[in-house]
Structures are given as C-alpha cells and as structure tokens.
Amino acid sequence: MPIATVNPASGETLLTFDPLGAEEIEARLAAAHSTFREYRTTGFDERAGLLHRAADLLEHDEADIARTMTTEMGKPVAAARAEAAKCVKAMRWYADRAAELLADEHPSDADVRDSGAARASVRHRPLGVILAVMPWNFPLWQVVRFAAPALMAGNVGLLKHASNVPQTALYLENLFRRVGYPPGCFQTLLVGSDAVEAVLRDPRVAAATLTGSEPAGRAVAAVAGDEIKKTVLELGGSDPYIVMPSADIERAARTAVTARTQNNGQSCIAAKRFIVHEDVFDTFAALFTAGMRDLTVGDPMDESTDIGPLASERGRADLEELVEDALGRGATALCGGQRPQECGKGWFYEPTVLAGITDAMRIHHEETFGPVATLYRIRDLDEAVALANDTPFGLSSNVWTRDEPETHRFVRDLEAGGVFFNGMTASHPALPFGGVKRSGYGRELSGQGIRAFCNTTTVWHAPDTGDR
C-alpha cells in the first residue's frame, strides 16, 4: 500500500511520500535509543511541563489538524475537532497525574519484616523505546493515548502509522519537537507494514503496542513473542447493544444511532449488534431505523454532515460484501443497503439496518466497519447473554436496563472489557481500555495504561547487622 493522502470523499490522491530507507530507519532507531538514556532520568515535573506545552499547542492547532484528518480519512470535520480536543484532555490528565500513578509502592511494615528486609518498595521504571503500530480511524487519538502515558513514564516512542494518514503522523512528530522534546523522543516512521518486523526485532526496541486488525495483531504478537518483548494489543470488536424491557426505549434508540455511526461507523468500540427483547423490539426497531434513515451523508467538510465517506475503496467493498451476503441469505434491509447515488465518486455508503440475521451469515461472525447495524430479537436475559457472547471478539458492550438484578447478571456474564449501562461505550483517560478474546490483551489508559510499559522493580534492603 503506498504511503499517501488520498481524499476518500473524491478518491483523489493529494500527496505521496517515499518510504524511509534502511539508513534512515537506522538513524531513527539510534536516535531513539540514545535519547532514552537521557530522557529516562528526567523528573515528572519536567516531563509534565513538556506534555502540557504539547497540549496547549495541539489546542491551538485544533482546526487545522481536524481538516487534515478529515482530508486523509473522511470523518466529519466536527468529529475531527472533537478528537483533537479529547487528545488535549488526555495529555493534561497524564501530565497532572503521572507522578501519582507511578509513585513507589510500599508494603506493610509487617510484610517488610516478614520478607527479612529493613525496608522494601516497588518502583515503576520506563522500559525504553516503544514501537506503536497505529490505525487510521482515530489517527490522532489512537496515538496520543499511547504517547501521553509512555512519555510521562520516561519512555520514548516510534510511530508506524497507517499508510493513508501520513500527514497526521508527521504532524504528531512535529508537535512534540516544537514544544521542546528531544528529537529522538517521538519519531514517525514512514514505512510500510513490511518494515515492522525488522524494527520490532531490533534489540533497541523494548516493546510494542498495536491497535488494528486481528491479522495485524497476530503478526506483531508472533514476532514479539519470538523476541520475548511485551505487547499491548487492541484489535477488532463486534460490540453488543442490548435493550431490555425496562429501558428508556426512545433514549436507547436515539443513542444507538450515534453508537453505531460514530466515525462513519469505523470504530472498534462502535455498537454493531443490536440485541433487543421481543417486548420492545418493534418500537426500538422503528425508532432506530428512522434515526439511521434521517442521517445526512455527504461532504465531511460540511458542518451539517453526519456521515462522511469510508476511509478506503477496499473498506467499502468489504462492507458491501457482508451486506450482500446477508441479504442473499434472507436478511431484510430496513433502510440503506447500497451506495448513495448523489455523493459522487467518494467512498460513501448509506446508513443501513439489517434484520433477520442468522448464524449462517458472515455478518453474524465478522466485524462490520461502516454504518451498518444488525438487529436481533431475543426472548429473555439468558438469550441476550448467549447471543452477546456468540462472537470471537470481546472489546466492549452496551446494556440498556433499569432492572438492578439484570445489571449484576450482565456484569458477571458478558465477555467484554467493558460494560456500559444506559449509554454508549466511550474511552476516558481515567478508565482502563481494552478487550478479551480476539479483541486483544493488555490495557490502555488509566494507571494500568501508564504502567503497561514500565519495569515493575522490587527494591529490597537488608537490615544493617553491624558486621564489618
């Protein structure tokens, strides 16, 4: 895949970039390794000052970088501005809290004595150079949620971004340089996916984090496992959105539209499978379908647009294949199901709701990356849990109920990294983010995220016996 900015609203190639050669990659690896030896000795106050300045500069650049993201991958420009603002928030959150999150831990006096020590503690030290392999769908947020905690922990970063968002990737490198980070602290590698293995195997790289597809995660995990290097993987999702009879159905349906179509439906944590109790199914389906049908599809630079183009022609083709397979096997399109004719040459697809889904259809088993929702009718809580878990993924989940015993059951039994009640899944710096099963392992954000790439070190001091 070429490294290029291709406007998905028109299909026009705007800029192309030559991938880095072997000598250039080596120079960046050497710079990262050298910089880490010095940067790891800096204090939290110095790191926080740098990250606060980066947040201030990103806030200043918000409108410009939003237009860049929209041009490169097609999200509505208002959503792109919101993404930039979210990154600013995360930077400031980690700048203000890293010292507390990574403070030395002290066992109880009794446990220290029992270990035979005079004193003992646990310290969190940075690992080194972290390789980040990042996707195009949230081209700023996915990187910042790794970079902010990693830099505050004293690590340095190498970013291999998706090949269709090179300008966003270069902006991030320049952002950190402009506020005073040493040049080797955060560098972008404009390389194809075929270069990742060699970089990850380099002994100067300590660990890796990847957000992306299941095949990409499997490939990186295999190399890292062979090299015995730590990884954090956030992969696909096919999140359930369960609606029980006690729910506020109008609010659940209204929120469902946003939950399915955020980022043009191209989000791992977007709700994708809508599992609705038979007592409220017809009402929910009518409201949800009407809401999806009312969305405005068009130019992502237009402030009134709800749904922009999909990020790539291949992505739209993949989505079409899933829909066509489902319709061919008996599913019904309550709305959408095709390309909008009025949107020109861009890679647009209509907001779509499919009912009558069975396990014979590919769409029941595979992730839909676009504005396509699947509707399921269930009889009771047991069937809701079974259907929600009938997926290889386990990223997050959404449940609409006002029945307290039901909430306990869903928390206990849903196989997912999060359970969000009476709202849609969202990420926040204070809350751990990640999944189970084929959605990956490890956690980003929160204290768990900043400690993910730290060496947890036991520090033990023997008693002074007076022997000389």
pLDDT along the chain (468 residues), means of 10: 94 97 98 98 98 98 98 98 98 98 98 97 98 98 98 98 98 98 97 97 98 97 98 97 98 98 97 98 98 97 97 97 98 96 89 97 97 98 98 98 98 98 97 98 98 98 78
Contact 424, 400 (CB under 8 A): no
pLDDT at 465: 75
Question: Please, which contacts does 79-84 make with residues 24 or more away whose CB atoms are closer than 8 Å?
Answer: 79/262, 79/263, 83/138, 83/140, 83/141, 84/58, 84/59, 84/140
Partner residues linked to 276 by β-bridges: 243, 377
Q: What separation in angstroms does the CA of 407 have from each of 72, 86, 245, 384, 394?
A: 41, 29, 13, 12, 18
Contact 235, 209 (CB under 8 A): no
Contact 310, 348 (CB under 8 A): yes
pLDDT at 467: 57
Contacts of 135 (CB under 8 A, 6+ apart): 142, 162, 211, 212, 213
Contact 129, 32 (CB under 8 A): yes
Q: What angle do CA 173, 164, 266 make, to 5 degrees?
A: 105
Largest Cα–Cα distance in the chain? 88
Does the predicted model carry a pTM greater than 0.75? Answer: yes
For 19-46, give one letter per residue: b (16+ CB within 10 A) or e.
bbeeeebeebbebbbebbeebeeeebee
CA distance 61 to 175: 10
CB neighbourhood size of 140 (10 A): 25
pLDDT at 156: 98
Q: Which residues are catalytic?
A: 234, 268
Contact 110, 284 (CB under 8 A): no
CA distance 154 to 48: 11
pLDDT at 466: 65
> In 3-state terms, what secondary structure has residue 372?
strand
Partner residues linked to 230 by β-bridges: 207
Residue with tokens 């970063």: 157
pLDDT at 316: 97
CB neighbourhood size of 13 (10 A): 11
Contacts of 195 (CB under 8 A, 6+ apart): 19, 20, 25, 160, 189
DSSP string, 377-389: EESSHHHHHHHHT
Contact 416, 436 (CB under 8 A): yes
